[in-house]
Amino acid sequence: MNILFNHEKCSGCGVCKLACSIVNFTQVTPAKAMLRIEGLFPAPGRYQIHFCDQCGICAEICPVDAIALEDSIYRINEDDCIACHECVTACPNCVMIIKKEDDMPAKCILCGECAIVCPRDAIMISEEETKAGCR
């Protein structure tokens, strides 16, 4: 599975962030979303969706190899993680978070809920085997 974006269609409504927090944390807390919507106003006058593109930088920087590629998705093994947060700092898209309840990092696992609920098809699911990102 792959997530594709059409930034021009994004209205900044935040439904994607809400779905992410509900599905992944069972909380209505959009601040916990593992994607980010940036308003680019007044110019160019649109929203930019920031999302984990599974680049692997988090895994490369992890000092204890707690992040591994499984089925084309980088996943955090919390049993191995030492919560140093180096992965969060290194994320080029600034979409990894630190869970306040246990101080552990969290990242997108491509569950697709953001795409399912997007009312404007700004975020879409694709079965193509390409890297996630703007298409």
Q: Using one digit for the tens of pLDDT, what is the confidence trace for 18-39?
A: 999 999 999 999 999 999 999 9
pTM, to two decimals: 0.88
Residue 98 pairs in a beta bridge with: 105
- Are 92 and 99 a contacting pair, CB within 8 Å? no
In 3-state terms, what secondary structure has residue 44?
coil
- pLDDT tens, residue by residue, 49-93: 999 999 999 999 999 999 999 999 999 999 999 999 999 999 999
Q: Does the pLDDT value for residue 1 go beyond 90?
A: no
pLDDT at position 134:
41
* CATH class of the structural domain 2-134: alpha beta
- The position carrying tokens 């997108």 is 108
